[in-house]
Amino acid sequence: MNKIAVIGAGTMGNGIAHTFAQNGFKVNLIDISEASLKKGIETITKNLDRQVVKELLTDSQKNETLLNIIPLNNLESGVKDVDLVVEAASENLTIKLEIFKNLDTFCKPETILASNTSSISITQIAAATNRAAQVIGMHFMNPVPVMKLVEIISGYSTSKATLEKITSLSQKLGKMPVPVNDYPGFVANRILMPMINEAVETLYNDVAGVAEIDTVMKLGMAHPMGPLQLADFIGLDVCLAILEVMYDGFKNPKYAPCPLLVNMVRAGKLGVKSGEGFYDYSESRKAEIVSAQFS
């Protein structure tokens, strides 16, 4: 697999495109929004610049990486001749089903279709296509160029050959692929999101403040980032969406989102991306956080 298409130029999409391009793959970065594409390329360029400053890359490698990425806003032309598509659109089932239905029509018969979903069933996504054996989950962690883990999720009909190809490909990216089965939240978020939700409940019940909760988890449990700050970094809307998928999938009240989290999302307090969540984030603070992730 030499030619890749990444759908969605947001935080995860541009990180995935960056990672593939840096490892020599030709990447079509696809988004219906010209503004999102422009911002995505700008983000990749800034993150490559940080890697150059830290002497993780040379200027030549940075330029080669950027030349490997072609921004496009037309899905059909962007995926017609690729070997792998990685979908990194909104964590919304309806949107994903529509994308995969179109991909099944537009892509070559042998193309593998992967989703970066953090919680939605790969089996359900695959059902929108006529190539369920070639549909798989590739759940990258944020920031993608730095984090080593990729959860590889096989749906009910995903073939062994597809799993082996994606596992090998992930290793070529310098990642550690970990195979998991297709249940709501998979492994990472099935464990992480209840912890974040419980931290929000602890704040909601006035047991302690934001900084105090995060400090306990950082100093007492050796977490590099407290759960409330991590929720801000992930996006409170994303956290809420994942919890809702698990609550709906398991019908277990332990996955029910805390009312405080629900209200914050309704109020548009989504974390770093909106400038305010459990913490306040100025533009300079955003840059500081991203820079720290690439150190």
Q: Mark whether 117 and 239 lie in a shared domain.
A: no
Please indicate if the annotation marks 212 as binding a ligand: no
Please indicate if the annotation marks 11 as binding a ligand: yes
Please indicate if the annotation marks 96 as binding a ligand: yes
Residue 77 maps to a domain: yes
SS3 105: helix
Do residues 173 and 114 lie in contact, with contact meaning Cβ atoms separated by under 8 Å? no
Q: Mark whether 160 and 198 lie in a shared domain.
A: no
Please indicate if the annotation marks 273 as binding a ligand: yes
Residue 270, domain CATH? 1.10.1040.50
Q: Mark whether 70 and 30 lie in a shared domain.
A: yes
Segment 5-26, tens digit of pLDDT: 999 999 999 999 999 999 999 9
Whether 223 is catalytic is no
Whether 151 is catalytic is yes
Q: Mark whether 211 and 72 lie in a shared domain.
A: no
Segment 41-86, tens digit of pLDDT: 999 999 999 999 999 999 999 999 999 999 999 999 999 999 999 9
Residue 33, domain CATH? 3.40.50.720
Q: Mark whether 135 and 232 lie in a shared domain.
A: no
The residue among 164, 181, 198 that closes a domain is: 181
65/252 Cα distance (integer angstroms): 45
Whether 118 is catalytic is yes
Residue 295 maps to a domain: no
SS3 166: helix
Cis ω for the linkage preceding 257 (within 30 of 0): no
Torsion over CA: 117, 293, 169, 82 (sign): positive
Q: Mark whether 132 and 275 lie in a shared domain.
A: no
Average pLDDT of the residues of the chain: 95
Q: Mark whether 154 and 200 lie in a shared domain.
A: no
Please indicate if the annotation marks 10 as binding a ligand: yes
Burial classification of residue 291, based on how many CB atoms lie within 10 Å of its CB (0-12 exposed, 13-18 middle, 19 or more buried): middle
Please indicate if the annotation marks 118 as binding a ligand: yes
The residue annotated as part of the active site, out of 116, 118, 119, 197, is: 118
The residue annotated as part of the active site, out of 119, 151, 154, 170, is: 151
Q: Mark whether 28 and 170 lie in a shared domain.
A: yes
The count of domains in the chain is: 2
The residue annotated as part of the active site, out of 119, 139, 154, 197, is: 139
Q: Mark whether 177 and 195 lie in a shared domain.
A: no
The residue among 138, 163, 181 that closes a domain is: 181
Predicted local distance difference test score (pLDDT) of residue 22: 98
164 band by pLDDT with thresholds 50, 70 and 90: very high
Predicted local distance difference test score (pLDDT) of residue 256: 98
121/36 Cα distance (integer angstroms): 26
pLDDT at 293 over 70: no
What is the CA angle 146-142-174, rounded to 5? Answer: 35
229/256 Cα distance (integer angstroms): 20
Whether 74 is catalytic is no
Any residues with CB less than 8 A from the CB of 26 and at least 6 apart, and which? 2, 3, 4, 68, 70
Q: Mark whether 43 and 176 lie in a shared domain.
A: yes
Residue 130 maps to a domain: yes
Q: Structural domain of residue 236, as residue ranges?
A: 190-289
